Amino acid sequence: MASLRPSGQQTQIGAMTIARPQSNAPEFRLLATPLVLFLLVFLGFPALVNLVYSVSEVSFETLRQPKFTGLANFLSVWSDAAFWQASWFSLRFGVLTAILECLLGLFLAIFLSPLIERRSWLMAILMLPLMVAPALVGLMYRLVLHEFVGPVPYYLWTYFGASVSFLGPGSAFWTLVVVETLQWTPFTLLLFYMAYQAIPSEIAEASAMDGARSLQRLWFIELPMMGPTIAAALLIRFIDGFRVFDNVYVLTGSGPGGSTASLSIYIYEAFFKQGAIGKAVAASVVLFVASFAVLYSLNALASRRKGAKR
Amino acid sequence: MTFATTKRRALLTAAGIAGLLAATPALAEVTVLGWPGGPEETALRAAADAYNAKPDVAENDKVELLFFNRDGFWDKLQADLAAGSKAFDLNLLATYSIGRYAPFMEPVELSDEAKAVYGDSVLATMQYQGKQYGVPTDLSLHFMYFRKDLIEALLKDDAGKAKYAEISEKYLGKKLEPKTPDEWTWDDYAATALYFTQAVNPDSPTRYGTVLQLKNLLFNIMVWQSVPRAYGANWMDDSGKITVNSDAYRKGLEIYKLLYDNGATPKDSLSYEFAEANAAFASGQVAAMLQWNAAAGDLTSKEKSPAVAEVTETVAPPAGPEGRFTHIHGLGFGLNKNAENKEGAAKFLKWLSSKEAALTYAKNSGAPALTPEVVTEVAVARPDLVKLGEFAGKYGYVMNGATSAKALSVYELQAKEFTGYWSDQQSIDDALANTEKGMADLLK
């Protein structure tokens, strides 16, 4: 089996030796310069400005003359009940939608696998919701769920005499979860279908010969082999759900009393609607630090598990 | 051909193109950022076409229009102006946002006819700190839309009157008699809304008595605030003290809460805004609603609202103990401080404030509030403009502080706190106390 072993300026792959460029070589620096400049200009500079604004009193009129106020913006965010309400909304929304999308995507990937194998064009149809911009999805559901225009309330009224409130205070959260799940399940379906297809058929045949039934094969062989893909899908969907903005904003705004304000909506409203630029930026810095801490912890956990397996 | 020759030729060609581009004079049209969609866009297009067709307008001063989406329009405009954008010379302006944008704009000069065309009160909707920042083009206020067939039937029906009295006594604590809508108080409106609600009165011909637009949105507060205003509400008194924690605001909030809790408006009203409310009324399942004047065209059009067009009437909003009121604000156009063609833009603005422009705008779906002398020239084609001018003059009001730099933030705050009360997430005391505190911070 080929061994991959770095050794100074060379990499050994089996019998082959490949020369590796030195990271401090002039051509290496030259090639890296555009990327470094790009990152400095488009990420580094805004990040620096954000850090300055987060500790300043600043408005649209004083963008170029921010006044240093220390940690006042962070304290304001920390003591703002709306910030915690938005954090709780985002966390619940992110976790629930990620789990639902992965469960549904996994079920469809396995259940529809034989059908998609024979008729691959079906996959293109199943992917259609992904092609629609989230803001348009929000608009579409504003029509679909409207009591006097939408088909869903129409049939509920016609056949059951019921006027269901889909976007009222008690049901808006769940309606938003369903809308998000319906749009993004195709993404997890695609990932899981590819992972499922990548499982070698020899393994399935061998387990069948050993007497494993379908459910046993799924539970003990296929799902563990799809594990890394499932974990990646959960993480990606959680991040996307946590930072949700478009469809929620179009459907319910920040909701009555701010009940459907996600963290992204909270930051947007603080920035634009209240003109509290320092507070909005401070909230985004808090969000960045929290996200970094979560990702760092997950990475550390994954590395430890990897080490333990070795 | 050697590589060096090719390289030299390429460099010469590039230098030639660059020189040509530098020598070409910049195109100096007047770019106007307008309010997209709806009658305002139609009217502005017609006015711009009329201006561009004038023989004395120089080629470099022709007007070019620019539109982007209504969603987040004011926020995007705020960001553009603050960034010193030169993408437009003239931009849309609203009464409630003048204070916010004035630092990035320049005062404008109007035509000599402006005063005679619009009158002082309408010109004042585009003024900030004593200076004219814009030309008023459209005036917005509210009408009470109602189904005259239903109201007329109720006024002739003795059994209906008895039921009406019973309902009003049960829900409002006093026996009321049906009246014609032009005589309604807010109690009459509430009683009528409850009477025409099937959840309250199973014999009602409509599912709902009214439709309230209760989404957490600043424009919805503008619609609602004529209720507390009729009971004497104001944002602040003359000394600058915030006065929202008052009986007048409490009464206004409670009337809407009563209607929502008793099913007189759809349960999803907490996510409704202009379009949703119009759709509900147009379905024929609503008896009356308070709505912007801009809805009149659609709701009385047989093509757009066949179920209600022929039976929909409008009057001014109901009265309270302090009188009858309608919120007013104007849309208009002002001059960007960073405009590239200020001279051309100023010429267009001056023309826009003339009688010729106002009549062109009015004949093409716009809603300018014209003086009685001028409106007569379009009264046949636009009878609604006569009502608009009349209501604005008789019942129009602007809350104290509602043209300040933080006016939009105040509306946002009220929308969040008051919808919190209507949706049972907080008490009326908390909603009013939070609003008072927030407004004191914003308007200090």
Residue B280 in contact with partner chain A when CB distance is under 8 A: yes
**Spatial distance between the Cα atoms of B317 and B226, rounded to a whole number of angstroms:** 8
- A47-68 tens-digit pLDDT: 999 999 999 998 877 888 889 9
- A71-84 tens-digit pLDDT: 999 999 999 999 99
B412 and B218 Cβ atoms separated by less than 8 Å: yes
Residue B10: the pLDDT is: 56
How confident is residue B2, by pLDDT bands cut at 50, 70 and 90? low
* Residue whose token pair is 């985002």: A90
**Spatial distance between the Cα atoms of B363 and B358, rounded to a whole number of angstroms:** 9
Nearest to B423 among A61, A256, A269 (CB): A256
Cα–Cα distance list, A62 to A56, A276, A277, A280, B408 (Å): 10, 12, 10, 15, 18
Q: Which residues of B touch A251 (CB under 8 A)?
A: 271
B402 and B226 Cβ atoms separated by less than 8 Å: no
Residue B133: the pLDDT is: 95
Average pLDDT, integer, range B297-320: 94
- B136-180 tens-digit pLDDT: 999 999 999 999 999 999 999 999 999 999 999 999 999 999 999
**Spatial distance between the Cα atoms of A269 and B87, rounded to a whole number of angstroms:** 25
More confident residue, B320 or B124: B320
Tokens of A11: 């990499």
Most A CBs within 10 Å: which of B213, B270, B409, as the mutation test of the A interface? B270
B134 and B93 Cβ atoms separated by less than 8 Å: yes
Residue A297: the pLDDT is: 86
Please state the ipTM of this predicted complex.
0.79
Residue A6: the pLDDT is: 47
DSSP string, chain A: ---EEEETTEEEETTEEEE---TTSHHHHHHHHHHHHHHIIIIIHHHHHHHHHHTEE--GGGTTS-EE-TTHHHHHHHT-HHHHHHHHHHHHHHHHHHHHHHHHHHHHHHHSHHHHHH-THHHHHHTHHHHS-HHHHHHHHHHHT-TTT-HHHHHHHHHH-----SSSTTTHHHHHHHHHHHHHHHHHHHHHHHHHHTS-HHHHHHHHHTT--HHHHIIIIIHHHHHHHHHHHHHHHHHHHHT--HHHHHHHTT-GGGTT--HHHHHHIIIIIS--HHHHHHHHHHHHHHHHHHHHHHHHHHHHHHHHH-
Asked if B214 and A250 come within 8 Å (Cβ–Cβ), the reply is: no
HSE (CB half, 13 Å, CA atoms) of B306? 1
Residues 6+ apart with CB under 8 A from A300: none
- A253-274 tens-digit pLDDT: 899 999 999 999 999 999 888 8
Helices and strands (H, E) in chain B, number of each type: 20, 16
CATH class of B142-327+406-442: alpha beta
- B324-363 tens-digit pLDDT: 999 999 899 999 999 999 999 999 999 999 999 999 999 9
Average pLDDT, integer, range B107-130: 90
Average pLDDT, integer, range B85-90: 95
Query: What are the domain boundaries of chain A?
Result: 89-261
Average pLDDT, integer, range B430-442: 95
Residue B187: is its pLDDT beyond 90? Answer: yes
Q: Which residues of A touch B103 (CB under 8 A)?
A: 61
Residue B17: the pLDDT is: 52
B114 and B353 Cβ atoms separated by less than 8 Å: yes
According to CATH, the topology of domain A89-261 is: MetI-like fold (1.10.3720)
Length of chain A: 310
Counting Cβ atoms within 10 Å, is residue A82 exposed (0-12), middle (13-18) or buried (19+)? middle
Q: Which residues of B touch A146 (CB under 8 A)?
A: 268, 276, 279
Residue B24: the pLDDT is: 43
User: Coil, helix or strand for B31?
Assistant: strand
Cα–Cα distance list, B338 to A147, B89, B335, B342, B350 (Å): 46, 7, 9, 8, 19
HSE (CB half, 13 Å, CA atoms) of B234? 14
Torsion on CA atoms B71, B331, B268, B416, rounded to nearest 10? 80
Residue A26: the pLDDT is: 81
Range name among A107-111, B246-250, B365-369 with the lowest pLDDT average: B365-369
According to CATH, the topology of domain B30-139+328-397 is: D-Maltodextrin-Binding Protein; domain 2 (3.40.190)
Residue A302: the pLDDT is: 78
DSSP string, B180-233: -GGG-BHHHHHHHHHHT-TTT-TT-SSSEEE----SS-HHHHHHHTHHHHHTT-
Cα–Cα distance list, A1 to A4, A51, A199, B148, B379 (Å): 10, 50, 21, 88, 92
Residue B209: the pLDDT is: 98
Average predicted confidence (pLDDT) for chain A: 88
Q: How far is B51 from chain A (nearest CA, A)?
A: 34
Nearest to B48 by CA among B66, B65, B35, B61: B65
Taking the CB of residue B53, how many other CB atoms lie within 10 A of it? 9
Helix axes B186-195, B247-261, angle to 10 degrees: 10
Residue B25: the pLDDT is: 41
How confident is residue B194, by pLDDT bands cut at 50, 70 and 90? very high
Residue A74: the pLDDT is: 95
- B16-45 tens-digit pLDDT: 554 444 444 445 599 999 988 778 899 999
| Max intra-chain CA distance, chain B | 104
B69: alpha, beta or left, given left = phi > 0 and alpha = psi -120 to 50? beta
User: Coil, helix or strand for B323?
Assistant: strand
Q: How far is A143 from chain B (nearest CA, A)?
A: 9
Range name among A89-103, A206-220, B272-286 with the lowest pLDDT average: A206-220
More confident residue, B376 or A275: B376
**Spatial distance between the Cα atoms of B422 and A46, rounded to a whole number of angstroms:** 40
Q: How far is A80 from chain B (nearest CA, A)?
A: 12
Counting Cβ atoms within 10 Å, is residue B115 exposed (0-12), middle (13-18) or buried (19+)? middle
B395 and B325 Cβ atoms separated by less than 8 Å: yes
- B48-77 tens-digit pLDDT: 999 999 999 999 999 999 987 776 788 889
**Spatial distance between the Cα atoms of B424 and B267, rounded to a whole number of angstroms:** 13
Taking the CB of residue B219, how many other CB atoms lie within 10 A of it? 17
Query: What are the domain boundaries of chain B?
Result: 30-139+328-397, 142-327+406-442
Q: Which residues of A touch B72 (CB under 8 A)?
A: 272
Q: How far is B93 from chain A (nearest CA, A)?
A: 16
- A168-226 tens-digit pLDDT: 888 999 999 999 999 999 999 999 999 999 999 898 889 888 888 888 999 999 999 99
How confident is residue B15, by pLDDT bands cut at 50, 70 and 90? low
B245 and B233 Cβ atoms separated by less than 8 Å: no
Asked if A275 and B409 come within 8 Å (Cβ–Cβ), the reply is: yes
Same topology, domains B30-139+328-397 and B142-327+406-442? Answer is yes
B167 and B192 Cβ atoms separated by less than 8 Å: no
Nearest to A272 among B75, B103, B406 (CB): B75
How confident is residue A107, by pLDDT bands cut at 50, 70 and 90? very high
DSSP designation for B242 = B
